Amino acid sequence: MEPGNETRISEFFLLGFSEEPELQVFIFGLFLSMYLVTVFGNLLIVLATITASHLHTPMYFFLSNLSFVDICLPSTTIPKMLVNIQTQRRGITYAGCLTEMFFFILFVVLDDFLLTMMAYDRFMAICHPLHYMVTMNPQLCGLLVLGSWIISFLYTLLQILMVLQLSFCANLEITQFFCELNQMIQIACSDTFLNEIVMYFASGLLAGGPFIGIIFSYLKIVSSIPGISSASGKYKAFSTCVSHLLVVCLFYCSSLGVYVSTFATLCTLKCSSLSDVHSCHTHAEPLHLQFEK
């Protein structure tokens, strides 16, 4: 199989989950139900924060934006996966793959930024309550969200433009059920050194930075909670922080799970490829015996 001719690529193949018919029905029902619950649940949160005037606070402003992103994020991948299961097809066009990857990266980075903003909001509300309304004013909250959109868009655009420079071979298979950046880089036929450097550096910066900010905020919050005089105030601070921490853990654990599974699958494929090559060399006849025959 020769590299190059990337402009002739018609589609990629999303291997996804098991090919067993029984499991396909189960996976379809499971993901469809989870998707509908996620969409309608977050839609109710967005509508509630818009219509209820007493929820027009910084915390619920960030929460409504987070809910909107959490509607968009699964909508970039799950519908395509459900269609593929229903139609028994695994193909996705080159343009469709890049589009799916663009919006997936965009909403993942936005999700990370919004979780960090919510942690900072809780830090200000619990550790500096007297300065909370002055600091967390509508202008600052709007600028934080706008800045997150701009940074996420520029980062995503950079990654997509770098992927466009790669050459791909024919019959490309992606082991996930969606087009994932790391796998796109790994299956490319051309040199991917610069892509990997940018991906790992930017991922460490955009994921590690917000994560450190969240940890720092909650360390300050935990040290400040014992200083709250009333029991109701402690309970309120604890309940809001626990719900946010659960979302943070879910986000980072699921992201880590996706990349760990991707790395393990790629390692397995590489090891099997190397073993096949070794087997071919082991069973092949020496060159001089072939000439003697």
Residue 177 near residue 257, CB atoms below 8 Å: no
pLDDT at 151: 95
pLDDT for residue 46 is more than 90: yes
How much is the average pLDDT of 64-92? 90
Q: Which of 39-43, 51-55, 117-121 has the lowest mean pLDDT?
A: 51-55
- Gap between the Cα atoms of 29 and 9, Å rounded: 32
Q: How far is CA 43 from CA 56, 64, 79, 240, in A?
A: 16, 9, 17, 20
Mean pLDDT computed over every residue of the chain: 81
User: CA 41, 45, 48: angle at the middle one, nearest 5?
Assistant: 135
Is residue 282 very low, low, confident or very high in pLDDT (cuts 50, 70, 90)? Answer: very low
pLDDT at 171: 58
Residue 213 near residue 52, CB atoms below 8 Å: no
Residue 75 near residue 39, CB atoms below 8 Å: yes
User: CA 35, 77, 150: angle at the middle one, nearest 5?
Assistant: 105
How much is the average pLDDT of 52-71? 92
147 or 188: which carries more pLDDT confidence? 147
The secondary element (H helix, E strand) that includes residue 273 is helix 231-283
Span 139-161, pLDDT tens digits: 999 999 999 999 999 999 999 99
- Gap between the Cα atoms of 123 and 132, Å rounded: 9
pLDDT for residue 166 is more than 80: yes
Is residue 259 very low, low, confident or very high in pLDDT (cuts 50, 70, 90)? Answer: low
Is residue 254 very low, low, confident or very high in pLDDT (cuts 50, 70, 90)? Answer: confident
How much is the average pLDDT of 205-227? 87
pTM of the model: 0.82
230 or 261: which carries more pLDDT confidence? 230
pLDDT for residue 229 is more than 80: no
Is residue 33 very low, low, confident or very high in pLDDT (cuts 50, 70, 90)? Answer: very high
Name the CA radius of gyration of the chain, rounded. Answer: 24
pLDDT at 75: 94
Q: Which of 20-29, 132-141, 179-188 has the lowest mean pLDDT?
A: 20-29
Residue type, 161: L
pLDDT for residue 285 is more than 60: no
Residue with tokens 């699964």: 74
Per-range mean pLDDT, top range of 137-146, 246-255, 262-271:
137-146
Residue 16 near residue 84, CB atoms below 8 Å: yes
* CATH classification for the domain delimited by 6-288, as one of 1.20.1070.10, 2.130.10.10, 3.10.20.340, 3.40.50.300: 1.20.1070.10
Q: Which of 35-49, 78-92, 207-221, 254-268 has the lowest mean pLDDT?
A: 254-268
- Gap between the Cα atoms of 113 and 99, Å rounded: 21
Return the domain boundaries, the chain: 6-288
pLDDT at 271: 55
